[in-house]
């Protein structure tokens, strides 16, 4: 964040080895120079929050390694160039919001199959939302708000299974709310200020008032009571007349019978009505943080009493009325606690006495807004955890003192998008029921003491984006079924006891664009040539295994690699010349192998920050450029000696 003024110099295009360019939040003006398209090694470009004007240069389509592009908050105009949308390398973010771009959104947007964030908000884009947008199957965040889009929401968007946030507000969109939206595991949905009509669903994201907005759509009906929308008309006038005749007939027929039981029935109803009314009137929304504050962190000074299944504290929830409440904390880790509480509730339901405390509300492990809280938990995860709502999206108990085995009932939580249990002391196997969580996008089971095999059912997690299983005691082979996780961006299996060959199916996951780490295991055999399919991958770590044979020339196809480690294996032969195409490589470690031949001349042309060739059988002259390499005070090694 500086205060530069003037234009971006065209000479910026001379920096052919530039990988990251950040000129955001300055006062730069003028046009983006065409020469920026000469930056063929560019990975990240951020020109946001300036006063840049003119069109997006077509030459940006030459930046074939671009992962992230931020041009938002400028004065750019013109149409979105098709050349930009043909950059299939874009996998992190494309943000063109807060400009003056106009015209339709080109159908080429569907080429961005690896993109996770697309923001085109606050422009003047018009026309229909292209159905090809459904091809952006890795999208997690999508905003088209503040434009002039019209027509209906294309059904093809139903294929964006991993979408967590969607904002299409402030457009001219019409039609009914698509049914697929209530099946998504959205954390945020904004459809406000359009011309949608019909019924608002009441499931999925539509069941949480704070997670979605449909205001400004006058023709919508139904939905949650809190929306204050009109009731939907589901029947025609003719059908209503027929129904009225039937009702009158039935009422007449049952009047005599009803009179016989009127007294008993009315008495029972009065009791039930009073109970329900009092419950609804006092059902407060209380978060965990409020309870924590009210009890002064569950201090002993506020402890009223404790038992085998629960403890009771006093607390001041509402300081305005200065009245204390009793807060009962269940000890669910104790066997029989849940059953005891259910019996207690059953007893309370049938007892009325003026000296009994009335139940005001309840609070679970997440607050009423759905946000997780952080506390230090210990003990085991009870099997009853599977009884939590299947609408639960987020369950995080990482970095605690939990132990014991993972309950198989966790597979009942089919609504989960994020399950984080890493950094605990779990033992035993990963339950095969984990494969039931087909909406899961992030699974963190790192740094525990889990053992056994990775279950084949893991391949059922078709929405999975991140999988962290590192630093456990897992054994066996990598299940071939992982090849079904077509949205996987990051995979950490390092520091386990896995063996066997690296499955070809895993290396055919072209979605892998961040990290593949299989280091510190016992993998053997050759590195399959299919590794060249990972052309979006930025970090590949296969260190400290028993891999053998030649380094496949196809590895040169991993054109987005920044870090590559093959050290501590049994690779032999020469360094393939195809590695010369890895122009963006910043760290290369091939030490402790049986490699031979000359040091390739292309290494001196790379802008490496770290290079380790030690403990091999290389021969010949060491390039002078390599000897001069001391970027960021990093050294490079050869033949077991540090060369300064």
Beta bridge partners of 366: 372
Q: Are 452 and 426 in contact (CB under 8 A)?
A: no
Terminal CA-CA length for the chain:
36
Burial of 149 (0-12, 13-18, 19+ CB in 10 A): buried
Report the distance separating Cα 111 and Cα 88, nearest Å: 6
Count CA atoms within 13 Å of residue 524 on its CB side.
Answer: 5
Q: What are the backbone angles phi and psi of residue 643, rounded to the nearest 5°? A: -105, 120
Question: What are the E-state strand segments in 156-227?
Answer: 165-167, 172-176, 188-190, 195-200, 212-213, 219-222
Secondary structure (DSSP) of 493-544 = --SSEEEEPPPHHHHT-TT--SEEE--SSEEEEE--GGGGG-TT-SEEE--S
The total of other beta-carbon atoms located within 10 Å of residue 55's CB is 14
Q: What's the DSSP call for residue 43?
A: -
Structure tokens at 314: 């006093």
Among 206, 143, 188, 197, residue whose Cα is nearest residue 170: 143
Q: Is 598 left (phi over 0), alpha (psi -120 to 50) or beta?
A: beta
Q: Is 20 helix (H, G, I), strand (E, B) or coil?
A: strand
> Which residues 6+ apart lie within 8 Å of 138 measured at CB?
91, 113, 114, 115, 116, 162, 465, 487, 489, 511
Q: Is residue 442 a known part of a binding site?
A: no
Parallel/antiparallel/unpaired status of strands 587-589 and 124-128? unpaired
The Cβ-side half-sphere exposure at 633, using a 13 Å CA radius, reads 0
Let me know if 285 is exposed, middle or buried by CB neighbors in 10 A (0-12, 13-18, 19+): exposed
8 Å CB contact between 119 and 94: yes
- For residues 493 and 516, the answer to whether their CB atoms sit within 8 Å is no
Place of tokens 């607050």: 367
Which string of b and e fits 424-446 if b means at least 16 CB within 10 Å?
bebeebbbebbbbbebbbbbbbb
Q: How far is CA 334 from CA 341, 363, 471, in A?
A: 12, 19, 30
**Cβ-based burial of 30 (10 A; exposed 0-12, middle 13-18, buried ≥19):** middle
Contact yes or no for 451/473 (Cβ under 8 A)? yes
User: Among 38, 100, 17, 43, which residue's Cα sits nearest to residue 8?
Assistant: 38
* Letter string b/e over residues 286-324, b meaning 16 or more CB atoms within 10 A of that residue's CB: bebebbeebbeebeeebeeeeeebbeebebbbeeeeeee
Q: Which residues are annotated as a binding site?
A: 328
Binding residues for ATP: 328
């Amino acid at each position: 964040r500086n205060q530069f003024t003037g234009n971006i110099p065209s000479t910026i295009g001379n920096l052919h080895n530039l990988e990251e360019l950040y000129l955001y939040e300055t006062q730069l003006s003028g046009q983006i120079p065409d020469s920026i398209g000469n930056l063929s090694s560019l990975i990240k470009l951020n020109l946001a929050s300036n006063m840049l004007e003119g069109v997006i240069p077509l030459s940006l389509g030459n930046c074939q390694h671009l992962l992230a592009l931020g041009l938002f908050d400028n004065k750019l105009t013109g149409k979105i160039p098709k050349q930009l949308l043909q950059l299939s390398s874009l996998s992190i973010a494309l943000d063109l919001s807060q400009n003056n771009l106009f015209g339709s959104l080109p159908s080429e947007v569907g080429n961005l199959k690896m993109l996770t964030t697309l923001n085109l908000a606050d422009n003047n884009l018009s026309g229909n939302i292209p159905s090809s947008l459904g091809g952006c199957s890795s999208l997690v965040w999508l905003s088209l708000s503040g434009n002039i889009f019209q027509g209906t929401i294309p059904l093809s968007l139903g294929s964006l299974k991993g979408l967590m946030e969607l904002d299409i507000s402030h457009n001219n969109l019409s039609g009914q709310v698509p049914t697929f939206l209530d099946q998504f595991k959205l954390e945020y949905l904004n459809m406000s200020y359009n011309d949608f009509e019909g019924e608002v669903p009441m499931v999925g994201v539509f069941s949480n008032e704070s997670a979605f907005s449909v205001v400004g759509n006058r023709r919508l009906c139904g939905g949650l009571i809190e929306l204050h929308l009109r009731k939907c008309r589901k029947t025609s006038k003719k059908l209503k007349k027929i129904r009225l005749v039937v009702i009158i007939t039935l009422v007449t027929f049952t009047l005599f019978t009803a009179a016989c039981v009127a007294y008993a029935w009315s008495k029972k109803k009065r009791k039930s009505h009073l109970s329900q009314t009092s419950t609804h009137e006092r059902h407060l929304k209380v978060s965990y943080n409020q309870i924590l504050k009210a009890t002064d962190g569950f201090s002993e000074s506020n402890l009223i009493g404790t038992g085998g299944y629960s403890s009771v504290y006093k607390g001041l929830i509402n300081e305005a009325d200065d009245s204390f409440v009793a807060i009962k904390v269940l000890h669910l880790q104790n066997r029989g606690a849940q059953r005891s509480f259910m019996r207690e509730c059953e007893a309370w339901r049938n007892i009325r006495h003026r000296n009994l405390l009335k139940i005001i509300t309840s609070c679970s492990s997440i607050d009423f807004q759905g946000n997780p809280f952080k506390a230090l938990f210990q003990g085991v995860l009870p099997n009853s955890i599977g009884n939590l709502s299947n609408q639960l999206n987020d369950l995080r108990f990482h970095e605690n003192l939990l132990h014991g085995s993972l309950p198989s009932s966790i597979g009942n939580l089919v609504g989960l998008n994020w399950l984080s249990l890493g950094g605990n002391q779990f033992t035993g196997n990963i339950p095969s029921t984990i494969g039931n969580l087909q909406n899961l996008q992030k699974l963190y089971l790192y740094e525990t003491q889990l053992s056994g095999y990775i279950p084949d059912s893991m391949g059922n997690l078709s929405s999975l984006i991140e999988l962290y299983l590192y630093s456990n005691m897992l054994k066996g082979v990598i299940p071939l079924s992982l090849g079904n996780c077509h949205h996987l961006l990051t995979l950490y299996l390092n520091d386990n006891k896995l063996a066997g060959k690296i499955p070809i199916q895993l290396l055919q996951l072209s979605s892998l664009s961040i990290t593949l780490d299989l280091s510190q295991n016992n993998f053997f055999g050759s590195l399959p040539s299919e590794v060249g399919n990972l052309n979006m991958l930025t970090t590949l770590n296969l260190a400290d295994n028993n891999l053998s044979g030649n380094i496949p020339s196809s590895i040169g196809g991993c054109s987005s690699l920044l870090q590559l480690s093959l050290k501590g294996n049994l690779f032999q032969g020469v360094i393939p010349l195809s590695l010369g195409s890895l122009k963006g490589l910043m760290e290369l470690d091939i030490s402790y192998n049986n490699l031979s031949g000359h040091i390739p001349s292309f290494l001196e042309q790379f802008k490496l920050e770290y290079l380790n060739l030690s403990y091999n059988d290389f021969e010949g002259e060491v390039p002078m450029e390599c000897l001069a390499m001391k970027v960021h005070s990093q050294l490079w090694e050869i033949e077991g000696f540090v060369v300064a």
